[in-house]
């Protein structure tokens, strides 16, 4: 059906690729075919033993762990994550989550997941940003897996400043005890998929996972992060 108003809008504001900025032929697409093809995927979702899973060995008992793509400095795919954090790009987060979720579903390693749990923001941070980007990632993943999102059971009690300029030691110190479980009864006996946007040291995910296992010892955990910094996979976990 023709919609002259929409055609006119498209003429002035055509949909563009979120990575390279080229005009897209179709409405509702996120990336052009070239960028989709060039996405630096890890393929870890299909491997039980992979560098992301190994990063958590000895620190947090997990059924499975993976990241969807490599966080490459200076690439458009790095900017993509900045966009959904700081420019209201929750729709991008949800779309990427759905792509990742399709891969997780296909792998078979994540088939038993009951609930998808986004790493929570402090309520004040959430208020400032307007939303939690990991929650939209979690929604995309959960829809692909056909399971619900649980975003009210785990909370971040402490408002901490950015981790970016901290040393490794300070980062570990900084996340210790910052999470709390408000509704353990909702998690009892469940297999949870913890979702975060970028995996760097893993300190935040470990802190959150430890808190959950202490409150609900009989639940099981897996981890999925959208991106992983390649440099963080070389040396394993360091205290």
- Please provide residue 199's backbone torsions phi and psi, each rounded to the nearest 5 degrees: -95, 120
Question: For 233, which DSSP code?
Answer: G
**CB–CB of 191/63 below 8 Å?**
yes
The CB-of-83 to Zn ion minimum distance in angstroms stands at 13
- Cβ nearer to Zn ion, comparing 21 with 43: 21
Burial 134-145 (b: 16+ CB within 10 A, else e): bbbbbbbbbbbb
- Cβ nearer to Zn ion, comparing 20 with 124: 20
**Binding flag, residue 96, Zn ion (CB under 5 A):** no
The CB-of-36 to Zn ion minimum distance in angstroms stands at 8
Rounded CA gap, 179 and 196, in Å?
14
Burial 212-227 (b: 16+ CB within 10 A, else e): bbebbeebbbbbbbbb
The CB-of-94 to Zn ion minimum distance in angstroms stands at 19
The CB-of-70 to Zn ion minimum distance in angstroms stands at 17
**Binding flag, residue 23, Zn ion (CB under 5 A):** no
- CB count within 10 Å of CB 115 equals 21
* Class of residue 87 by CB neighbours under 10 A (exposed 0-12, middle 13-18, buried 19+): exposed
Which of 9, 10, 14, 20 is close enough to bind Zn ion by CB under 5 A?
Answer: 20
**Binding flag, residue 32, Zn ion (CB under 5 A):** yes
| Strand ordering across the sheet containing 191-199 | 65-71, 220-229, 191-199, 115-118
The CB-of-76 to Zn ion minimum distance in angstroms stands at 7
> From the CA atom positions of the chain, what is the Rg in Å?
18
**Binding flag, residue 35, Zn ion (CB under 5 A):** yes
**Binding flag, residue 19, Zn ion (CB under 5 A):** yes
**Binding flag, residue 17, Zn ion (CB under 5 A):** yes
By CB under 5 A, which span of 26-34, 165-173, 189-197, 205-213 interacts with Zn ion? 26-34
- Cβ nearer to Zn ion, comparing 17 with 224: 17
- Cβ nearer to Zn ion, comparing 35 with 206: 35
- Residues lying near Zn ion in the complex (CB under 5 A) are found at 17, 19-20, 32, 35
């Amino acid at each position: 059906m023709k919609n002259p108003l929409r055609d006119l809008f498209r003429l002035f504001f055509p949909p563009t690729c979120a990575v390279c900025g080229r005009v897209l032929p179709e409405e509702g697409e996120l990336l052009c075919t070239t960028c989709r093809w060039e996405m630096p995927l890890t393929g870890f979702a299909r491997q039980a033993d992979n560098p992301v899973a190994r990063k958590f060995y000895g620190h947090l008992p997990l059924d499975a762990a993976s990241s969807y793509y490599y966080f490459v400095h200076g690439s458009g795919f790095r900017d993509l994550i900045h966009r959904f954090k700081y420019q209201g790009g929750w729709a991008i987060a949800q779309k990427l989550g759905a792509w990742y979720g399709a891969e997780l579903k296909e792998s078979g390693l994540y088939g038993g997941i009951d609930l998808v749990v986004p790493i929570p923001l402090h309520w004040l941070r959430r208020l400032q940003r307007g939303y939690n980007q990991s929650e939209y990632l979690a929604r995309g993943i959960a829809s692909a897996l056909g399971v619900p999102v649980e975003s009210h059971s785990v909370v971040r009690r402490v408002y901490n400043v950015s981790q970016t300029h901290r040393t490794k030691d300070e980062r570990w110190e900084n996340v210790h005890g910052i999470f709390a479980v408000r509704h353990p009864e909702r998690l009892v006996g469940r297999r949870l998929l913890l979702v975060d946007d970028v995996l760097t040291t893993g300190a935040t995910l470990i802190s959150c996972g430890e808190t959950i296992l202490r409150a609900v010892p009989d639940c099981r955990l897996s981890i999925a992060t959208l991106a992983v910094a390649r440099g963080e996979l070389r040396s394993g976990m360091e205290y």
